[in-house]
Chain A
Amino acid sequence: MNPDFAFLVEVIVGGLLSGVMYALVAIGFVLIYKTSGVLNFAQGAMVLFAALTFVSLLERGLPFVGALAATLAVMVVLGLAVERAVLRPLVNQPPITLFMATLGVSYVIEGAAQLAWGTQVHGLDLGIDDTPFEIGGVLVSRFDLFAAGVAGLMVAALTAFFRYTHTGLAFRAVADDPFAALNAGLRLPRIWSAVWIAAGLVALVAGLLWGARLGVQFSLSLVVLKALPVLVLGGFDSIAGAILAGLIVGAVEKLSEVYLGPFIGGGIEGWIAYVAALAFLLVRPSGLLGLRSVERV
């Protein structure tokens, strides 16, 4: 393969695989937004809390599976606690109030994580070799491929859940019209609790994969910054949109940084994804696959 072309392919592949990692975080946002209309800013803090809990238990001698099960339980309790103690009392409040509440929750979780588990950084080895392998002159990361596989499985599981299970259908009903769902006899508080638990589980998966990538440290909570343009681009209420937008954002970031960066000073990937998302927003405000809201005025 021509070296320049191989390099281009490598940049695109690397970008797509990074994009999957962004989408992993974005899916946690989508789950909450889809069913309750809340943009959960605490998702990043939940990712940090999950990874820190898991690695701390592992370092205290628990076996991998035991630590995973215990962290799962902790995330279930955390999801329930946030829903019960913060979101439920604020039901029917304006969206900005709910958003600010999740912002507060984010700080509380970050503080609690450090209080409970300390401030040290930790390595996290999931047993996946991160040495690259070469296909036609293109280096591909084993770990990123593994992460993409996990993300794919998770999306498939969530899609099946939403399409074929009673609770999943109830989620969709609540998302479509909460009042109609209530009239049909669905118990909204129970559904909201379930969705917060699901967001906690997604945070655990994202936390383990991001933790293995960055190390488990406070900065894990900053991965939300990578998820936000994905949400804008993909739509806040579409899991498929999050994956598609993640791939686009990842590729755009890398291509821009590598090919455009040298001409405009470099270090542009932090904001170029937002430029792309905002530009798209002007054309399609609900995002790629987000539901168009139609209101009678």
Chain B
Amino acid sequence: MRAALLAGATLLGLAGGARADEQHFPLQSYRVGPYAAGGTGFFGGFIDYLNLINSRDGGVNGVKLTWSEGETQYEVERGVEVYERLKSRPGIAAWNPLSVGIAYAMIDRITADKVPLITINHGRTDSTDGRVFPYVFPLLLNPYSETSGIVAYLGTRAGGLDKLKGKTIAVLYHGSPYGKETIPIYEKLAKTYGFKVEQIEVPHPGNEQQSQWLTIRRLRPDFVVLRGWGVMNPVALKTAQKTGFPVDHIVGNVWSNSEEDAIPAGDAAKGYVAITTQASGTEYPVIQEIVRKVYEPGNGNLADKKRIGSVYHNLGVLNGILNVEAVRIAQGRFGKRTLTGDEVRWGFEHLRLDEAWVAELGAKGLFHSINVTCANHEGEGRVTFQQWDGTKWKVVSDWIAPDWASLRPIIEASSTAYAKEHGLTPRDCAAEEQADAGARNTAAEHASAESR
């Protein structure tokens, strides 16, 4: 009930728009409808982090963070409607819809409006190429990197990447553009490493998978990769059990990795492994601080405190960290004031958080690092793997680096085709970075002269 009232209040825009000393985050959230469990967790974590920055630091260098929510129910039309309704708010830093469909529908709009669109862990793979997609940021992980990370992990399970040769990997994917996005890269990696790949579609929503799992039973693959969404995930785990496939040989992708995917499957999920860019749990200092400084005074966004530290909540917190640090970095360049969307874009393009910086933020172990550049909007996020023990996720691997070098040419081929199709001229990132360095040197000289 509290969540509903909160959603109602925020739908009415009571969280408020930005004023002169404020930076605003419009949120196309989904707190009701079929995907509400993920939406409440992610947007709850994001808001909790913004709250922490406001209450602990008084904002980012004195610039208060504000937000307003519009309910989308994960529907594209509603997402676009919320965009049109909220885009006139002053001081918008970035959009974070957490929806492939809504993100696709926004690309032209945010490019015209010059505001960053953050698609953490999802979105178009080729939007990694910032030369063609200057305002889109699939931070930490695009679908191809995810695939590469999963194959690398399966390699470690098999005893080395070379041991994948001759093995069979079945990919069970959601019958949607999201699910189909990785078909070509699995085919390519199968050729590279010599394994056989069988890709099997599950029609939306995926609440019946008997025939797919019988097919898998006949194929007898060594591993199954679950590229699911929503109800498809627990049903896959339950049907795997029903057809006798060992659950610890199923590896879930980044949208099959939450408590909401495992809990409904009950015992069938025990031993299930999934990829993630951020660990779950509450032991990280930043999460502890959120508990202390946001939840204890009664300002937490999650109605159920037991969900603090869950996969979606921690993803929301991590998304908050990346957005806030991008604003902070951009302030270093443009001044400690409300920034324009284009200035925040610059901040994202210089979002370089190494392990030491991550530790300073209280997020050591929560995530590894990020290194975004003008040309690389994903930022080389590392992945890790977690296993469900029946009640919670437990990390079972080191941080793994996907094979970005081999993926880059494929990404560039796709983005180049996109640019050609849309009549775009790719940016010259080298020239921009040089000009930036020049501007920063001039500013530094200016500051130094002033201080003298």
Q: Is there an interface contact between B303 and A123, defined as CB atoms closer than 8 Å?
A: no
Nearest CB in chain B to that of A253: its residue: B211
Assess whether B34 is in contact with A219, with CB atoms less than 8 Å apart: yes
Q: Nearest-CB distance from A111 to chain B (Å)?
A: 7
Contacts of A215 in B (CB 8 A): 231, 234-235, 263-265
Which B residue sits closest to A141, measured CB to CB? B242
Cβ of A175 to closest chain B Cβ, rounded Å: 31
B247-265, CB under 8 A of A: which get 1 and which 0? 0000000000000100111
Report A118-139 CB contacts with B as 1/0, cut-off 8 Å. 1111111100001110000001
User: B242 to A222, Cβ gap below 8 A?
Assistant: no
- In whole angstroms, how far apart are the Cα atoms of A123 and B203 in the complex? 23
Neighbouring A residues of B205 by C-beta, 8 Å: 219, 222
- By a CB distance below 8 angstroms, the chain A residues around B212 are 257
Let me know if B210 and A15 touch, CB within 8 A: yes
From residue 182 to 234 of chain B, which have CB atoms closer than 8 A to chain A?
A: 200-205, 207-208, 210-212, 214-215, 217-218, 230-231, 234
Cα distance A267–B175 in the bound complex, in angstroms:
7
Docked-complex contact A130 and B304, CB < 8 angstroms: no
Are the C-beta atoms of A219 and B208 separated by less than 8 Å? no
Contact: A123 with B32, CB < 8 Å?
A: no
Residues A267 and B203 in contact, CB atoms below 8 Å apart: yes
Report A91-126 CB contacts with B as 1/0, cut-off 8 Å.
000000000000000000001001110111111110
Which of A123, A215, A266: most chain B CB closer than 10 A?
A215
Which DSSP category, helix, strand, loop or mixed, fits chain B's interface?
helix
Knowing A114-B4, A139-B244, A265-B201 touch, does A217 contact B211 (C-beta < 8 A)? no
Given A131-B241, A219-B205, A266-B201 in contact, is the A123-B265 Cβ separation under 8 Å? Answer: yes
CB-defined contacts of A144 to chain B, threshold 8 Å: 242
Per the bound structure, the CA–CA distance linking A258 and B200 in Å amounts to 10
Residues of B63-86 contacting chain A, CB below 8 A: none
Q: Provide the B30-69 mask, 1 if CB < 8 A to any CB of A, else 0.
A: 0111111101100000000000000000000000000000
Instruction: Find out whether the CB atom of B201 lies under 8 angstroms from the CB atom of A267.
Output: yes
Q: Are the C-beta atoms of B204 and A270 separated by less than 8 Å?
A: yes
Q: Are the C-beta atoms of A217 and B208 separated by less than 8 Å?
A: no
Q: Does B1 contact A (CB under 8 A)?
A: yes
Pick out which of these stretches binds chain B: A6-14, A26-34, A160-168: A6-14
Q: Among B3, B215, B234, point to the contact of A118 (Cβ < 8 A).
A: B3
- Bound Cα distance from A167 to B35, whole angstroms: 42
A258/B215 in contact, CB under 8 A: yes
Interface majority SS (helix, strand, loop, mixed), chain A: helix
Residue B266 is within 8 A (CB to CB) of chain A in the complex: yes
Q: How near does chain B come to A194, taking the closest CB pair, in angstroms?
A: 31
Instruction: Decide if B243 is an interface residue (CB 8 Å cutoff).
Output: yes
Contact partner of A143 (CB less than 8 A), chosen from B204, B242, B243, is: B242
Evaluate whether A119 and B214 lie within 8 angstroms (CB atoms) in the complex, with A214-B207, A223-B207, A267-B175 already known. no
Contact across chains for A219 and B231 when beta carbons are under 8 A apart? yes
User: A213 on the interface (CB 8 Å rule)?
Assistant: yes
Q: Which residue of B lies closest to A116 (CB)?
A: B1
B231 partner residues in chain A, CB cutoff 8 A? 214-215, 217, 219, 222
- A226 to B1 Cα, complex, angstroms: 31
A159 to chain B, nearest CB (A): 27
Which residues of B lie under 8 Å from residue A116 when comparing CB positions? 1
Complex formed: what's the CA distance from A265 to B238 in Å? 25
Count of interface residues, chain A, beta-carbon cutoff 8 Å: 47
Whole-angstrom distance from the CB of A201 to the nearest CB of chain B?
A: 22
CA distance A139 to B214 in the complex (A): 10
Chain A hits for B290, CB < 8 A:
none
Is A18 an interface residue when CB atoms closer than 8 A count as contact? yes
The interface residues of chain B lying within 8 Å CB-to-CB of A132 are 241-244
Residues of A within 8 A of B238 (CB): 130, 213-214
Closest residue on chain A to residue B232 by CB atoms: A219
Q: Are B208 and A269 closer than 8 Å at their CB atoms? A: yes
B211 in complex: contacting residue of A218, A226, A269, CB < 8 Å: A269
Taking the closest CB of chain B, its distance from the CB of A3, in whole angstroms, is 9
Q: Is A204 interfacial (CB 8 A cutoff)?
A: no
- Shortest CB-to-CB span from B180 to chain A, Å, is 10
Chain A positions within 8 Å of B39 at CB level: 119
Cβ 8 A contact of B210, one of A130, A131, A254, A265 = A254
Q: Which residue of chain B has the shortest Cβ distance to A261 in the bound complex?
A: B211
Residue with the greatest number of chain A CB neighbours at <10 A, chosen from B39, B207, B244: B207
- A254: which B residues are within 8 A, CB to CB? 210-211, 214
A-B contact pairs, 26 of them (CB 8 A): A7-B214, A11-B214, A15-B211, A114-B36, A115-B1, A115-B4, A118-B303, A118-B304, A119-B31, A123-B263, A123-B264, A125-B266, A130-B241, A132-B242, A213-B235, A215-B231, A215-B234, A215-B264, A217-B230, A218-B33, A254-B210, A266-B201, A267-B175, A267-B202, A269-B211, A270-B175
Other than A130-B242, A222-B34, A254-B211, give 4 A-B pairs with Cβ distance below 8 A: A115-B4, A139-B217, A253-B208, A261-B211
Q: Give 5 nearest A-B pairs by CB, closest first.
A: A215-B264, A270-B203, A267-B201, A119-B36, A257-B211
